[in-house]
């Protein structure tokens, strides 16, 4: 409608200009007569022609301006239509790109999760399948909480412990550091119970489940194998360190400081054994399981052997033999062999009898030796090596 009005305006302007110009010429000729031979008449006629054509040119200029405006309007309309078409094309292109990016992100998420689970399973194979990861998806979600089919982050930020979420990487590191501190405590029985609880909790956070064969000295917590053996605490810590470091590497973080060396030697083993077997608050929740029934008697004998006389142990050979056995559950298993058990108890019996003769005049030492002898004979009966 706007274009039609502009075209009408152009026609009217040009028409009016032509009509006025022609009308002026006609009126001049009609009222002033035929062609004159006088110069003054031609001068007047020139003035009339000048005015008429000036008017005509004015209207022509107006028409031209209207025409140019019409062209501008048409160009603007064409540009608006072109912009709208380009916008539709761009939106379609953006939709395609968005879908491609979403598909790419989803594929990255699947591959990232797949490799994470493969690394966990690789840890299980590395430790000869004595552990497994029953729910690796849960572990992945906990360690990479921001990841989803529409988002895939490769790095995980370690935040302050108070900002940690249950089972996430920060939580695992906080528990790990706590375990390292508890391993330095050999006397506080409550701390020993916390140590076992923390180890069980940390393995749960990492998804570790012990599925290996029964071992002499396995620790059970609330009726379930804690993945901890009293004779080889270091093994559990090594597994935890390895799995945790694997996750830290995969999430773009530094490895933890090793703590498994803190469980080496007999100090932590002996402290945990006494707490779990004799502390009243450990009863019912914590248990050390054996198939070799003589082990508690041998532990009592081991404690007896550590009594010092001046600067040496009263039963040095007994202590060394039992320390070697308790240093590894594989050594403990040897007690199931009759010849091994018979030879061991003979050596110990010989030492105790010799010390009884040597300290027969000392009532205190004699009492300690008689108690050790009683523990030995109880163990021998359970090992079926009495004669």
Measured CA distances, 86 to 75, 77, 83, 91, 92 (Å): 16, 14, 5, 9, 10
Rg (CA), the chain: 50
Please check the confidence at residue 203 and state whether its pLDDT lies above 80: yes
What is the residue-averaged pLDDT of the chain? Answer: 87
DSSP letters for 190-238: HHHHHHHHHHHHHHHHTTEEE-S---TTEEEETTEEEEEETT-HHHHHH
pLDDT digits over 336-355, tens only? 999 999 999 999 999 999 99
Q: How do the domains of the chain map onto residue ranges?
A: 2-101, 127-152+160-289, 292-387
Q: Are 234 and 260 in contact (CB under 8 A)?
A: yes
Mean pLDDT of 179-197: 95
- How big, in percent rounded to 5, are the helix, strand and coil portions of the chain? 70, 5, 25
Q: Which of 329, 328, 142, 286 is nearest to 200 (CA)?
A: 286
What's residue 105's pLDDT? 83
Identify the residue with better confidence: 368 or 20. 368
What's residue 221's pLDDT? 95
Please check the confidence at residue 10 and state whether its pLDDT lies above 70: no
Give residue 6's pLDDT band: very low, low, confident or very high (50, 70, 90).
low
What's residue 92's pLDDT? 74
CA distance 269 to 33: 141
Identify the residue with better confidence: 121 or 39. 121
What's residue 387's pLDDT? 63
CA distance 48 to 38: 16
What's residue 184's pLDDT? 93
> What is the percentage of the chain residues whose pLDDT exceeds 90?
63
Decide: helix, strand or coil at residue 131. Answer: strand
């Amino acid at each position: 409608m706007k274009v039609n009005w502009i075209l009408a305006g152009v026609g009217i302007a040009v028409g009016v200009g032509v009509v006025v110009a022609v009308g002026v010429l006609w009126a001049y000729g009609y009222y002033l007569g035929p062609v004159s031979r006088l110069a003054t008449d031609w001068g007047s006629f020139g003035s009339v022609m000048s005015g008429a054509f000036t008017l005509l040119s004015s209207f022509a200029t107006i028409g031209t301006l209207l025409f140019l405006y019409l062209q501008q309007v048409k160009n603007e309309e064409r540009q608006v239509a072109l912009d709208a078409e380009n916008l539709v094309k761009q939106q379609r292109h953006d939709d395609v790109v968005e879908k491609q990016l979403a598909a790419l992100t989803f594929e990255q998420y699947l591959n990232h999760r797949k490799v994470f689970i493969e690394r966990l399973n690789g840890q299980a194979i590395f430790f000869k399948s004595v552990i497994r990861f029953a729910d690796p998806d849960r572990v992945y979600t906990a360690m990479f909480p921001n990841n989803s089919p529409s988002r895939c982050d490769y790095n995980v930020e370690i935040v302050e412990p108070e900002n940690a979420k249950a089972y996430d990487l920060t939580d695992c590191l906080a528990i790990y550091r706590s375990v390292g501190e508890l391993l330095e405590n050999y006397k506080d029985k409550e701390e020993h119970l916390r140590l076992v609880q923390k180890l069980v909790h940390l393995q749960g956070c990492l998804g570790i489940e012990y599925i290996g064969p029964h071992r002499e000295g396995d620790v059970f917590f609330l009726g379930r194998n804690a993945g901890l053996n009293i004779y080889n605490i270091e093994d559990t810590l090594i597994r935890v360190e390895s799995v945790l470091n694997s996750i830290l590497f995969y999430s773009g973080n530094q490895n933890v400081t090793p703590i498994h060396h803190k469980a080496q030697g007999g100090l932590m083993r002996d402290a945990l054994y006494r707490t779990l077997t004799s502390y009243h608050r450990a009863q019912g929740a914590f248990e050390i399981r054996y198939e070799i029934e003589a082990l508690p008697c041998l532990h009592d004998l081991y404690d007896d052997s550590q009594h010092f006389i001046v600067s040496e142990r009263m039963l040095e050979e007994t202590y060394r033999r039992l320390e070697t056995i308790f240093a590894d559950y594989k050594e403990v298993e040897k007690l199931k062999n009759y010849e091994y058990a018979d030879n061991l108890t003979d050596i110990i019996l010989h030492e105790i009898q010799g010390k009884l003769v040597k300290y027969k005049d000392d009532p205190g030492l004699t009492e300690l030796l008689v108690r050790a002898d009683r523990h030995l004979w109880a163990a021998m009966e359970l090992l079926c090596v009495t004669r």
